[in-house]
Every structure is written in structure tokens, then in C-alpha cells.
A and B are shown apart, each in its own frame.
Chain A
């Protein structure tokens, strides 16, 4: 035990004295969550819109005032004809064009129904979707107002068009994905690099000729990173909750248990990588190529798994983060318990056993 503690202490010194690593360990989660948070955030303020008003009557004026009075929209331009729509989208600043049909007010009075068309720049699908939802809410609100003192209910029908990307992708909750990616990064990459470093510097041989067993060495190396990863997970959850208001509906202990399982999984992957990587650079590259890219691309973090072509969809099954993201999403957003998530949890544990078994095998081959 004393051996073990002396070793853990050494690892802590390594981490604390390596400013770059420290920066990665604690700077990265904060930067990433803020970056992703603001990039994929669903709340948009001061979005630029243009209006093409064919009617120019009292009703359209009221509606326009109502739209612009909200904090969400800023008017860039009043358009005069349909041709200007494409033009105003071109610079990418204007996100939505609101089109009122000719005789909007008159139609509303006489026929009790009028049309508004919303044309959104859907090359940024999340923003487009969100803005259209906001506008629909504002129009619906306006409808309720004018219906209060009317006998026959007025009907403003809205039609929205998503330009440039008719198939809208959903809004993703980035926090679960971010936890998965950061834990993968810290646990797997850092441990594989730290073990590779001992090999590269030759200190590994010294350790192996000491009475410490190789298992002991590995576990002692991993302990500080388990703690660091947990701290990082807490940072992300706190930032998610208090900066971006991502709820945590489910049980916190369950969430942490799953986080811990995923950390162990990432660590076992890191150990596996270190058994094949002789230098820190190889370990770094392997971690990036073999872990980070598939985790980012195939886990459903950025691209929904449902939209993937079948071969990739099958492949996503072997990405551990895919299952973890499902678990975290369900716990945080739906409040699910272990009774629903046990399958995913079992899969994660299976991955751990598999990677550890493979590491042991690889390790033996190397020694033979």
C-alpha cells in the first residue's frame, strides 16, 4: 500500500508540474462547453430578419411591431419584392424573411384568415428551426390578442420554408456528448501518454525491475486520472446546469456511477493504446485518430445516428460513447433510472472487460 501511495503521489507531481497538461485538463472542459454551448445553443438573441410586406396595413404593422419588440429579432431590411429574398440571405447575416401576403389585413377582416410565410436560412438548421419556432409563437400570440374581441376567430396560417437544407436536423443536447468526449480525451489520451512517457524515458524498465507488480503500476497511474476526470465531469455538469440551464432530472448518484463506469472504460482504452504505443507521440496520434474522431463523428454527438447510412449506423454500435451519451441524455433530460438503462450500462461494462482482457493479452505478447 505504501508503494502504491508513493507511486500515486509521484503521478500527482507529474500532473501538477506539467502546466500544459493542467491547462488541457481544466481549461479544455470550460472552453469546450462554452464554445459548444454558445455554438449549439438553442437560445438566440438579436437574430437578423428581413420583412417583405405585400400588404402594408394595420395588421401587418402590429405584427411587425410585436416581432421586433421581442428581444429575439432585429430588422435588417424591409424588402420590396420576391427577388430581394435570395439577395438578403446571401451575406449570411439575415436568418429569416417574414412574408405577408397582399391584402393581409383585408383578408383577415373579410375571410377571417390570412397567410404569413416564414423563409429561413436553414444552412444553419438549429438556428433556423429555433427562429421559426419563436416566430410561430409570436404570431400565435398575436392571434390570441385579436381574437379576444372578435366573434368569429381569426385565423392566421403560417407556412414555413427551410431554405438550403429542407431536411432539418434536430436540436442536440451537447452536454452529454461533451462529457463523453472530454472524459475520453482526459482518461484515455492522458493515461496512454503518461504510460508511453515512462516507456519512452526508460523509467518503465526501472519500475518493472522494482518489486511493484505491473498491475500495481498501472492502477497507481490511473488513480489520479480517475479523480481528475470526475472533477472535469462535475465542472461540465455545473457549467451545463448553471450557464446553459441543462436540467438534471434523474438521480445524481446514478449519473455519477455511469460517469465512473465510462471513465473506467476510457482508462482501459488508454491502457490498451499504451500497450501498442512506444512513444508519447504515437500514443497521442492513436488516441486522436482511434478514439477522438470516431467518438466525435459516430457517437451521435454531432450527427444523429438515425440519419447515418446503415454501415455507419452499425459501426456506431462499437463506439462506447454512443451508449454513454444515450445513458447521460436519458438520466439528465428524461430522468430515467437504471431499470431503463441497464442494457446500455451492461454494454459499457462489457467494453471495459473486453479492453482490459485485450490489454493483458497484448502486454503479454510484448513481453514474450
Chain B
């Protein structure tokens, strides 16, 4: 992790009618950091993430992702980020190879590059023999890893993971987080939302959203100390109960 800020958010707002989905949030993420984005359903996580990935234009406030403005430079942002969603993001009726070719093509990689990447990726995942298997026929853990690797295909400097481990068994989750660590170690910034409080502990820093606002922000240790809690679950309960805001 460096001190270079790769995501900067200042007083970002998103208002739907009279509903403040994201209400004046400010934070920044450093290059190579694993940044956890937590909150209950409807707390505004997804809306915030959509604004950062260029899917949604903010109502007001400032934000830059990899130095690009979220209002005007969404196309540039899209080229520099990777995205993997909680819902499965590869095509089940295409083979492993075809999915890699498709996403390589979508991100404008040259055929030669795609070929090399595919070879490297399949080797790393130990999936050389499954290159022509349909995604649907693979075990969930494999799919997950593959989806992550495909999202990394174009070497994004930031990768957004929207509840990537939803519905996955603990062992696979553990393996998945190992991949995340490795990726962060190589300098890619990880922006991850999750429901699982134990996963929050794996992050370098986390922010907790409640009703569109950031209720707490800091490293897991800082938060636990601040709330006098044993684990992240208790932190979360503390925030929910007291509505306490810790910065």
C-alpha cells in the first residue's frame, strides 16, 4: 500500500426524488489498499459504488477514480477499473475460453495478448484442462476465481467487487480472499462490499454505511477499539444501536 490516493470522494450525494440514497459521504482509498465497504441492504452501498464505476451520475459532490472525474470521464474510468458482482458475472453457456475471449475483446485487448493472458491465467488456476468446458459445468469455487481473474484481465488499477463471496462456502471464501490479498500485494486496489462481518476483518480499512451516510471509517482494529468491541459483528451492532458516528 502506498500513500497515493487512487479514489477521492468529497461530499458525494445521490438524491432520488426526496430520498437521499447517498448522503454527503467523503473518503479516500489508497493505491494497493483493500477497502471494505460495509452496510445493510439499502444503506447506499450499491448506489455509491455505481457512482464510482461510472454507472450513475452523482447529484452533487466531487469524486475521482484513478484521477478521472466521475462526471465527465466515465469512459476513462471504465477502462481502468475491473468489476465483479455478487451475481455471477461470467456467461454460463459459454466455455471458459470463450468468456475470456469475450471480455478480452470487450476491453479491447489484442488477440495475441488475450491468448497469452488466457494461457497464463488457466495455468495459474490449474484449469488448463477445462478451457473448453462450459462455465455452468464448473464448481462454484472455480467459477468465482475465474470471474475474478477475468475481471483482472485488462490489468485494472482498481477492482470493484460487489459482494463477491455471496452464497459461497467458507473454504472457497477463504481461497478467494487469498486471491484478493495476492492481487492487492501486486499493487491493485481492491474496493469490496460485503455482508460478512468476518470478511471485514481481512480489509485494510473499512467504512460502514448507515442510511446513506458513512457511520464509521477506519481499520478493523481502530473500529473495534472505538466501539469497545471484540469483533466486527459487535462493531456493527454498536453502530446500529447507538447510531454513533466515528471518524
Contact = CB atoms under 8 A, between A and B. Distances in A.
B93 interface: yes
Among A14, A18, A203, residue most surrounded by chain B Cβ atoms (within 10 Å): A203
Interface in A198-235: 201-203, 205-213
B49 to A, nearest CB: 10
Interface of A is mostly: helix
B183 interface: no
B40 to A, nearest CB: 20
Contacts of A5: 105
A2 B93 contact: no
A367 interface: yes
Given A13-B98, A202-B89, A209 B83 contact: yes
Contacts of A7: 102, 105-106
A77 B91 CA distance: 65
B55 A206 contact: no
A17 interface: yes
B16 A2 contact: no
Contacts of B88: 201-202
A109 interface: no
Contacts of A210: 78, 83, 103, 106-107
A6 B102 contact: yes
B165 interface: no
A368 interface: yes
A200 to B, nearest CB: 8
Interface in A312-368: 367-368
23 contacts: A2-B105, A6-B101, A6-B102, A6-B106, A7-B102, A9-B102, A9-B105, A10-B102, A13-B91, A13-B98, A201-B88, A202-B86, A205-B55, A205-B89, A206-B85, A206-B89, A209-B55, A209-B81, A209-B83, A210-B78, A211-B78, A211-B108, A213-B75
Given A6-B105, A13-B91, 17 more contacts: A2-B108, A3-B105, A3-B106, A3-B107, A7-B106, A14-B93, A18-B93, A201-B92, A202-B88, A202-B89, A206-B83, A208-B55, A209-B53, A210-B78, A210-B103, A211-B75, A211-B107
